[in-house]
Each structure stands twice: as C-alpha cells, then as structure tokens.
Amino acid sequence: MGYSEQERERALREVPISVPDPEEWPEGIRQIGISELNNLGIDRKGAFYWNGRLLKVQKLLVLSWWQKASAVIVTVTAALVALSTIIQGVAAYNAWACTVGWLAVCPAVPPVPS
C-alpha cells in the first residue's frame, strides 16, 4: 500500500519535507545517523523506544485565562440547559400521566360544590 507517484508529489506539495537546521538547535544536540536508526523501536501500542528505553511523548493543552473562563461558562450553561430539559420533561410527563391515570404527582382537584 504505497503512494503512486502523483499522490506522492501532491502530498509533498501539501506538506513539504522539513529540512532541519542544526545550527539553531541547543548545544549538545546532533542529528541521528542512518546507522543509529536501528536504536529506534515501536511496540504494538505505538509507543516509541530508543535503545530499549521508552520515549515519553507528552501532549500538553494550555489554555489562556479567557479560554478557561469561556470553558467554565459554556459548561455551566450546558448543565443548566440539561437540568431545565429534565425538569420540563418531568413536568410534561406529570401533566400527561395525570390525564391517563398513571403514577404521577397530580394536583389535588377541589371538590365541586353542589
């Protein structure tokens, strides 16, 4: 399942090959040689290993103050909407269940004066 030549060319135009610039790297870091690639491994779960040691891949999600505040507002609003939907459903059920004589919280009907 490889790329056809046209698919490869299109993929390279969309996402060009990244050419490293080692001069911009911190002190003490160098490129990996072809002969060193045998040190890189992967397990069935997709975890990477270098020379038998697990490489920790960490993805951080950092939100600004405004993003956190917006998330709290959206969450509280969604919870209130869900609660009001439940309350409305219970009220609608009770109104209907009272008319058909099912188990419900029905208002007391005052006696008709004679």
What is the pTM (predicted TM-score) of this model? 0.44
Work out the average pLDDT over 75-80.
98
Edge-to-edge strands of the sheet including 48-50? 40-42, 48-50, 53-54
Q: Tens digits of per-residue pLDDT, 23-42?
A: 888 888 888 888 888 898 88
Q: According to the model, what pLDDT value does residue 84 have?
A: 97
Q: How far apart are CA 88 and CA 23, in angstroms?
A: 65
Coil, helix or strand at residue 54: strand
- What pLDDT does residue 2 have? 66
What pLDDT is stored for residue 94 in this prediction?
Answer: 87
What is the distance between the alpha carbons of residues 10 and 13, in angstroms, rounded to a whole number? 5
Q: Given a cut of 70, is residue 66 above it in pLDDT?
A: yes
CB atoms within 10 A of CB 34: 6
- Report the pLDDT averaged over residues 80-104: 92
Domain boundaries, the chain: 5-54
